[in-house]
Structure formats: C-alpha cells, structure tokens
Structure 1
Amino acid sequence: LHQPMFHLLSNLSLVDAFFSSTTVPKMLANLWSQSQAIPFASCLAQMYAFHLFGTMDSFLLATMAIDRFVAIVYPLRYSVIMSPRVCGLLVGGPWLITNLQSLVHTCLMAQLTFCAGSKIPHFFCDLMPLLKLSCSDTRTNELVIFVFGLLMGITPLTCILLSYTCIFWALFKIPSAQGKWKAFSTCGSHLTVVSLFYGTIFTVYL
C-alpha cells in the first residue's frame, strides 16, 4: 500500500524544492542589493517555472487524494488499480499539461510591449502584475489566464473534494471507531498539506 504513495511523495518533494527555488533566490538577491528589478528574459523564465511547478503541485495533491481514496475504499484491489503504469500516467500526464500551460502563458507574455522598458520592477513575476505593466492589448492574455485558471484550478480541487467525499462516506460505514480512526489517520498529513496549499492560494489570489 505504500509504494505508490512513496513515488508520489518523491515527486511532490522534488516539485516543492523547484517551486521554492523559482522565487526565493531572486528575493534574497534583491534584499541584499536593495534592487527590485529583474530582466525581462529572467522574468519570463521565472514565470514559466513558477506556473509549471505551482500547477504541478496541485495536480500531485489531487493524485495523492485519489491514491488515498483507492487505498481506503478498495484496499484489496489497491495494487491492481494503482499499478506502476497507472501511477506513471497520473504523474506524467500532469507534467505534460502543466508544461503546455506554462509555455502558452510565456509565449503570449513575450509578445507584449511593456511601458517599463526591458526591466520589470518586481522581484516576482506573476501574470496579472505583468499585464498591468503592458502597453499592449492584453485581452487575449486575460482570456487565456481565465480559461487555464478554471481548468488547472478547479480540476485538481474537484478531484480532491470528490475523493475525500467518497473517503468520508466509506469511513461512515466502518462500524468501529478504532477502524475509522485507523483509516482516517492515513489522510491526516495529506489534508494538512492541501489546507496549507489552497489556503495560501485563496489568501493571495481571492
């Protein structure tokens, strides 16, 4: 029951390490040099990496929720359902999708003209702050951001909510309190990470 989860955790830890490294080094460099400017090319690279690893984080959390759902609801069929091939698809598919999303955002952003010149006066390159600095028509960018935001934001969160709805329903059917606690205890750390991740997103973007 643990091998697929270890595979997912290794991917999650790798993604989180890269996710942090997209913004923290530049932020520390800005604090040291008292400069908050970033070259446009570096800004595009940072934006690509930020959205790649940030979105991948949400998909991995959704995949881990599905893994816990299968482990609790179908324990006897777990090794068959969560086979190495299925785990590879659940991890490889999001890598492909998030790379495509980040590439589209970056290519569209590269076509814009910015009033601030070749340097963006900000240590962290996110989509909406960059659009505010643009002198070009940004309606296409805004539409793409909205569409990808819905697809990439709602899809993983829906998977997580549906998985835990089924998990809680399955726990409700377990007669003993000890059995319920034992099954739920396997989800505690994942629920904590999900709460921190989406709590931060809702705080920043809503």
Structure 2
Amino acid sequence: MAWENHTLNSNFILLGIFDHSPTHIFLFSLVLGIFTVAFMGNTIMVLLIYLDTQLHTPMYLLLSQLSLMDLMLICTTVPKMTFNYLSGKKSISLAGCGTQIFLYVSLLGAECFLLAAMAYDRYVAICHPLRYSILMSQKICCLMAVSSWVVGSFDGIIVIAVALSFPYCGSREIPHFFCDVPALLTLSCTKTLLFERLMFICCVIMLLFPVAVIIASYVHVIMAIICMGSGEGRRKAFATCSSHLMVVGMYYGAAMFIYMRPVSDRSPTQDKMVSAFYTILTPMLNPLIYSLRNKEVARAFMKVLGKDKSGE
C-alpha cells in the first residue's frame, strides 16, 4: 500500500535540459535539427539495405540493425522532450517513465552486443577472407543480430522490474530530460545500494565484455592490415574498420562514463550533457560515418535516385 501511495498516484516531473532563454531556444532548435538528420539518415540506411539486393550481406545486415536501433533510441527520448518543452508540461506518467527506461536500456544493451558482432565480422572478413562465407553465413549473422536484441531486452526487463520496485517520494522531480535510471534512483525513499551494485555488474557484462571482443578482434585486424602487401587493400581495410572504431569509441566511452560511476559521484549537468551526446548526437553521426565513407552505400543511394551510372 505504501508503494502505491508513493509511486502509482503521482507522475514524475522531467526538469529537462532547456529553458526559454535565447541561447537555449537556439540549442533546442539545434537538437531538433540533429533529430531530423538522425531520423532521416537512419531511415534511409535501413531502406537502402532492405531494397538493394547487393547490400544483402552480413556486414550490411548488421549495419541495418544498428541504424534501426539508433532510430528507435532517438525516438525514445527526443519526441517526449520536445513535447514537454513546447507545451510547457513537464510531467511523465509511471507507465511512460517505465517504457522509456525499458526501451532505452534494451536498445543500449542490444547495440553494445551488435557492435561486438560487427567487430567480429570485420575480423573474419580481413583475417579469414576465404572462410568468410562459412564463419559469417547468413544464418550466423541473423543469430548474432537476434541475440543482440534478446540480450538487450532481457537487460531492460531486469532493470525496469527492479527500478520500479522502489518507492519514490519527495519532489518527484527527475533532473534529466528523460527517465534515466541513475537520475530516477536519487528520488527513491529507500536505499538503492544493492541495485546500484546489480546495475554495475550488468554494465560489466553489457559494456566490458563486448569491448573485450572488439579489442581482441581489432588487434588481429590491425596486425593483418600491417602485413598486407597491397597498398590499396590496406587502405580499403583501414577505411572500413576506422568507421566502426569511430562509432565504438564515441558510444562506449559515453556509456561507461554514465553507468560505471557511483550515484554519489554523479553530476546532473554532466549526466545530461553526456546522455544528450550518445542518445541524440551519436545516432546522427552513425549513418553519416558509414554512408560518407562507404562507396556501396553511396552507389545504392544513387541507384534509388535513378542516377546510378553503372546501369544496374
């Protein structure tokens, strides 16, 4: 009954990230611009890979899943933030908060494992090219993609089940622009140390394990690239891998900064800035990084526009 009185009968208040000063209005407009580019860029990537049969390869299948995850991630936070800012309302229901947490945590976890799968794909393609069709068959690729979604969803279920089991009271003001678990825990009426430790263990599994796979893969990849005799092959391999490493560096660096620190050491301002970076900016950069540095994606785009000179 106490849990119901504290939690079910009230909405939470999202304090947001912007006020109505001229500087913040400009920044809000900038975020809307970034959201539009991210939404269109990731949607185009998913559609191009789906429509162009030449892109129906393991690498591009994984890339389409990354774009889909980024698309869902940015739609989880920005529309609600925009509605609250424009309407002047800052409230979010318990169900809405729980939905945001589940989707957010699930997508972050799924993307962590998907990026590791993409690193393994590059390792096989460069270090074992003759066995690529066996080690990265369509079946194995689909299994990796589905596993990423399943593991991410399982992590989301655990986090949301535990997070919403705490009673929340007081001002009920979340110092963030969306329902993020660390920010929500500061409102709990009870101690959350045990859950913080559980969340740290989840972060070790969801962040450090994929990072270890990525590092191991790219150590072998870099060694293979150095030993390549062809300068053209070396440049092509480096271009492909550098795109992935740029995404990995931005994504994992920000996620570790947010989720692998104790709640007591957190600064709401820092958390909001870093969260905005990898929930708003990174989903925009991913399709730009992959498309601008990838001739196959550019060819598929020109083909859709009817300007493919190859006549395919």
Match of 1:179 in 2: 233
Shift of the alpha carbon at 1:76? 0.7
Specify whether residues 6 and 171 from structure 1 end up closer, same or farther in structure 2 by C-alpha distance, changes over 3 A only.
same
Give 2:88's aligned amino acid. Answer: Q
- CA shift digits 1:26-69 (9 cap, x unpaired): 11012112333322221111000001111211211111111011
1:19 and 2:73 correspond: yes
Tell me, in whole angstroms, the C-alpha distance in 1 between the residues paired with 2:87 and 2:141: 44
CA contact (8 A) 1:115 1:133 kept: yes
Match of 1:29 among 68, 83, 99: 83
Normalising by structure 2, we get a TM-score of 0.61
Specify whether residues 120 and 176 from structure 1 end up closer, same or farther in structure 2 by C-alpha distance, changes over 3 A only.
closer
Match of 1:166 in 2: 220
Match of 2:211 among 154, 157, 166: 157
- CA shift digits 1:151-192 (9 cap, x unpaired): 101011111111111100111211343332232222232222
Normalising by structure 1, we get a TM-score of 0.91
Match of 1:61 in 2: 115
Tell me, in whole angstroms, the C-alpha distance in 2 between the residues paired with 1:52 and 1:119: 24
Which consecutive residues of structure 1, in runs of 5 or more, have no partner in the other structure?
none
Tell me, in whole angstroms, the C-alpha distance in 1 between the residues paired with 2:172 and 2:180: 16
Which consecutive residues of structure 2, in runs of 5 or more, have no partner in the other structure?
1-53, 262-312
CA contact (8 A) 1:4 1:82 kept: yes
Give 1:106's aligned amino acid. Answer: I
Match of 2:183 in 1: 129
Shift of the alpha carbon at 1:203? 5.2
CA contact (8 A) 1:71 1:78 kept: yes
Query: Tell me, what secondary structure is at the counterpart of 1:125?
Result: coil
Tell me, in whole angstroms, the C-alpha distance in 2 between the residues paired with 1:22 and 1:68: 30
**Higher RCO, 1 or 2 (CA under 8 Å, sep at least 6)?**
1
Query: Tell me, what secondary structure is at the counterpart of 1:45?
Result: helix
CA contact (8 A) 2:77 2:178 kept: yes
Specify whether residues 121 and 73 from structure 1 end up closer, same or farther in structure 2 by C-alpha distance, changes over 3 A only.
closer
Equivalent pairs counted in the alignment come to: 206
Tell me, in whole angstroms, the C-alpha distance in 1 between the residues paired with 2:172 and 2:236: 57
Specify whether residues 196 and 71 from structure 1 end up closer, same or farther in structure 2 by C-alpha distance, changes over 3 A only.
same
CA contact (8 A) 1:38 1:122 kept: no
Tell me, in whole angstroms, the C-alpha distance in 2 between the residues paired with 1:38 and 1:91: 32
Match of 2:61 in 1: 7
The higher radius of gyration belongs to 2
1:193 and 2:247 correspond: yes
Tell me, in whole angstroms, the C-alpha distance in 2 between the residues paired with 1:202 and 1:149: 8
Match of 2:125 among 51, 59, 71: 71
Farther off after superposition, 135-144 or 192-201? 192-201
Give 1:86's aligned amino acid. Answer: I
Runs of 4+ more than 6 Å apart? none
Cα RMSD, aligned residues only: 2.1
Tell me, in whole angstroms, the C-alpha distance in 1 between the residues paired with 2:153 and 2:131: 32
CA contact (8 A) 1:39 1:119 kept: no
Specify whether residues 99 and 82 from structure 1 end up closer, same or farther in structure 2 by C-alpha distance, changes over 3 A only.
same
Percentage of pairs with the same residue: 38
Farther off after superposition, 165-174 or 135-144? 135-144
Shift of the alpha carbon at 1:134? 0.2
Match of 1:91 among 137, 145, 154: 145
Match of 2:156 in 1: 102
Give 2:150's aligned amino acid. Answer: L
